[in-house]
Amino acid sequence: MCGISGYTGGRSVYNIIINCLESLEYRGYDSAGIAFTAGNRLSVIKCKGRIADLKKKASTRKINAQAGIAHTRWATHGKPSSLNAHPHFDSSGRIAVVHNGIIENYIDIKDKLLEKGYTFKSDTDTEVLAVLIGHYYEKMAIEKAILKAAEDITGSYAIGVILSDSPEKIIAMRHDSPLVIGIGVHENFMASDVSAILKYTNKVIYLQDKELAVISPERIEFLNSKPHDKHLPVKINYTIEQAQKTGFKHFMLKEIYEQPKVVSNILAGHITSSDKIHFDISGLDIKNIKEITIVACGTAYHSGLVAKYIIEEFARIPVNVDVGSEFRYRNPIIKDDTLFIAISQSGETADTIAAVREIKKHKVPILAVCNVLGSTLTRESSATVYTNAGPEISVASTKAFTAQITVMYLLGLFFAQEKGIFSKTRLTSELNIFKKIPNQQKEIFKQSRKINAIAKKYLNFGAFLFLGRNINYPIALEGALKLKEISYIPAEGYASGEMKHGPIALIDEYRAVVCIANDSFVFDKVLSNIQEILARKGKIIVIATEGNRRMTEFTKETVFISKTNNVYAPLLTTVVLQMFAYYVAVLKGFDVDKPRNLAKSVTVE
């Protein structure tokens, strides 16, 4: 949902803000722009298209700047165009603003400014904000003008402002959209997320809600802070390599291949040498939880659905799962013996955070399962379990999903342990099966050629159906989501048992059906579904357990996973479906890491 970068210091402003912006392109990529100060001159270069187009446009200019801000856009108000691209000027041309988020009441503000005689060049809410700041700047210092404008607006924002009157300064402010400040020596940085500035510094300060920072090369001043806001720099412990492709063709492929390591790291982090599971969530009264409600969006919602099967199976606690955007507006029943869990890779998803705020009104505990240190979700929750998957750059989520479900398995086992449901022997035997998963995921990578060949064969099918049963039903949903979001092929996920209640009408020789048919207590039922599809000339691709020869009687298109207990199978079946979606999109020639219309971190409702 738009990426922002900024730099003030003695090095090449242009190179640094563009370099940082390139790491943020996953957040939006329909237009891009920069603004920079030199002496008392403020200049803007912007265009429709990607950062590469911006670089082409800027290449004819000699840019010698003191400070600069940059923006890559995911359009909310106004179509992608050069006029709507950020930065936007105020009416005097002395102030330039970049913005991530949505100003919800921008029409009212625009009307008032129009009445006062101001004019606008773009369709954006951001230009309205820039003009409003400029309006107040006529009468007060820029910091005060920004704070005053912030009082007038509703919605979410992370903004960067530079001005010709103070060419070394960048002013940053945020509310419900992420913004981080990077600390350098005689230089400072600003960005939407840490991975963008990691090349230059690993010392960061997370800007707090409604806080304003005045960033100069030698100092950072904070205004509008709350008494408990801390400004001690945090040291980031992941490396720049983790945020780079390191030889892989795409981030998505790299992130798929990182999954065995991610799973092993999470296991190592929560299992003691005597096979006890520990979580640092002492504030939550686990033994007395009667029910769990999980809120999340998209792929994270699918991990919530997997968690329902896990927790109900292991800990016998009833689990409800809801999408953030539905939960909030449903007048939900919030009971104080319910544990609420919010799952989010970014920790900035507006719909999930809105649900969390609704829950907080009832003063019940919320556990965040999140990947991003210091994100809004983690700050607003009672406790956090980090998924520690490292930065996920590809817009389509892969390793973050596996990390989320790995954490949910461990939480399920932990609840069973704490409630005394599992004996020590049972827990050890579960963990022995679980610990084999990373190597079993690596076995799937050995079948990449085969998965690629299947992708090639099915590339031009017009629609896909993904079927799974029991704990693999949410994996069917996730497999369909992966395929549609990066290859734009209509794909639906269904519980296999539901096929006869409607979707079977779709089956003919042009329909491809991906069936998750691993060995399990529901295998025979899934097999019946497969036969029903074949009887109607449907084409099938199957995921089966190694050694299951019956499958090869039905189709050559079988990808095998290693033997494991059905409950852990999602950690394997999901990898096959991620690879399948990846190869289809690559073969179709699409931009896998930056699918159209999407953006990582959906910070608007």
Looking at the annotation, which residues are catalytic? 2, 600
Q: Chain centroid to CA 110: how far? A: 32
Q: In the bound complex, what is the minimum distance in angstroms from residue 300's beta carbon to ligand F6R?
A: 4
396 binds ligand F6R (CB under 6 A): yes
Please, what is the minimum distance in Å from the beta carbon of residue 397 to ligand F6R? 3
Restricted to residues 539-578, the positions that interact with ligand F6R (CB under 6 A) are none
Beta strands (DSSP E) in 256-311 are 291-296
Binding mask 478-497 for ligand F6R (x = CB under 6 A): ---x---x------------
Q: Which is nearer to ligand F6R, 400 or 527 (CB)?
A: 400
Give phi and psi for 537, each to the nearest 5.
Answer: 65, 15
Binding mask 444-463 for ligand F6R (x = CB under 6 A): --------------------
As a whole number of angstroms, the distance between CA 542 and CA 3 comes to 39
Report the residue number, 19 or 345, with the smaller CB distance to ligand F6R: 345
User: Cβ 217 to ligand F6R, closest distance in Å?
Assistant: 33
Cβ of residue 84: shortest distance to ligand F6R, in angstroms? 23
Min. distance of Cβ 48 from ligand F6R in angstroms?
Answer: 25
Q: Which is nearer to ligand F6R, 9 or 479 (CB)?
A: 479
Handedness of CA 426, 432, 433, 438 (dihedral sign): positive
Q: What is the 3-state secondary structure (H, E, C) of 301-350?
A: HHHHHHHHHHHHHHHCCCEEEEEHHHHHCCCCCCCCCEEEEEEECCCCCH
Write the interaction track for ligand F6R spanning residues 342-381; mark x where CB under 6 A is met and - where it is not.
--xxx--x--x-----------------------------
Beta carbons of 96 and 89 less than 8 angstroms apart: yes
Of 68 and 298, the one with the shorter C-beta distance to ligand F6R is: 298
Footprint on residues 214-253 left by ligand F6R (CB under 6 A): none
Cβ-based nearer residue to ligand F6R, 106 or 301: 301
Residue whose token pair is 């991003």: 372
| Token pair for 213 | 């920072």
Which residues make beta-bridge pairs with 188?
A: 8, 183
Q: Which of 147, 300, 389, 455 binds ligand F6R (CB under 6 A)?
A: 300
The least distance separating ligand F6R from the CB of residue 441, rounded to whole angstroms, comes to 18
Q: How far is the CB of 325 from ligand F6R (least distance, A)?
A: 11
Whole-number Å distance between alpha carbons of 89 and 99? 12
325 binds ligand F6R (CB under 6 A): no
Exposed e or buried b per residue across 236-272, where buried means at least 16 C-beta atoms within 10 angstroms of its C-beta: bebebebbbeeeeebbbbbbbbbbbebbbbbbeebbe
Between CA 92 and CA 127 the distance in angstroms is 12
Residue closer to ligand F6R by CB (options 145, 297) is 297
Provide, rounded to whole angstroms, the least separation between the CB of residue 597 and ligand F6R.
12
> Taking CB under 6 A as the rule, does residue 440 contact ligand F6R?
no
- Block residue for tokens 């539901």: 498
Q: Does the protein bind ligand F6R through residue 397 (CB under 6 A)?
A: yes
Query: How far is CA 389 from each of CA 373, 444, 574, 579, rounded to the nearest angstrom?
Result: 11, 20, 16, 18
Query: Segment near ligand F6R (CB under 6 A), from 48-56, 64-72, 200-208, 298-306?
Result: 298-306
User: Is residue 579 involved in binding ligand F6R (CB under 6 A)?
Assistant: no
Distance from C-alpha of 441 to C-alpha of 435, rounded to nearest angstrom: 11
Under the criterion CB under 6 A, does residue 601 sit at the interface with ligand F6R? yes
Residue holding tokens 């290859």? 487
Is there binding between residue 259 and ligand F6R (CB under 6 A)? no
If the CB atoms of residues 45 and 389 are measured against ligand F6R, the closer one turns out to be: 389
Q: Which of 444, 389, 394 is closest to 252 using CA atoms?
A: 394
214: helix, strand or coil? strand
- Residues 3/27, Cβ–Cβ less than 8 Å: yes
Q: How far is the C-alpha of 202 from the C-alpha of 188, rounded, in Å?
A: 12
299 near ligand F6R, rule: CB under 6 A = yes
Phi, psi dihedral angles at 342 (to 5 degrees): -110, 125
Nearer to ligand F6R, 127 or 593 (CB): 593
Q: How far apart are CA 3 and CA 106, in angstroms?
A: 21
Does 298 contact ligand F6R by CB under 6 A? yes
CB count, 10 Å around CB of 38? 16
CA dist 561 and 558 (Å) reads 10
- Shortest Cβ distance from residue 400 to ligand F6R (Å)? 6
- Asked if 297 touches ligand F6R (CB under 6 A), the answer is yes
- Which single residue brings its beta carbon nearest to ligand F6R? 298
When asked if residue 201 is in the footprint of ligand F6R (CB under 6 A), the reply is: no
- Min dist. Cβ of residue 324 to ligand F6R (A): 8
Q: How many residues bind ligand F6R (CB under 6 A)?
A: 15
Nearer to ligand F6R, 113 or 372 (CB): 372
Asked if 593 interacts with ligand F6R (CB under 6 A), we say no
**Residue with tokens 């992608």, as numbered in its chain:** 80
Q: What are the backbone angles phi and psi of residue 395, rounded to the nearest 5°?
A: -65, -40
Which DSSP letter does residue 277 get? B
CB of 130 to ligand F6R, least distance (A): 28
> In the complex with ligand F6R, which residue's Cβ is closer, 149 or 393?
393
Q: Structure tokens of 525?
A: 């039922």
Question: Is residue 142 involved in binding ligand F6R (CB under 6 A)?
Answer: no
At residue 222, the 3 state secondary structure works out as strand
In the structure encoding, which two tokens stand for residue 599, read together?
Answer: 């953006």
Nearer to ligand F6R, 177 or 188 (CB): 177
Q: Which residues bind ligand F6R (CB under 6 A)?
A: 297-300, 344-346, 349, 352, 396-397, 481, 485, 601-602
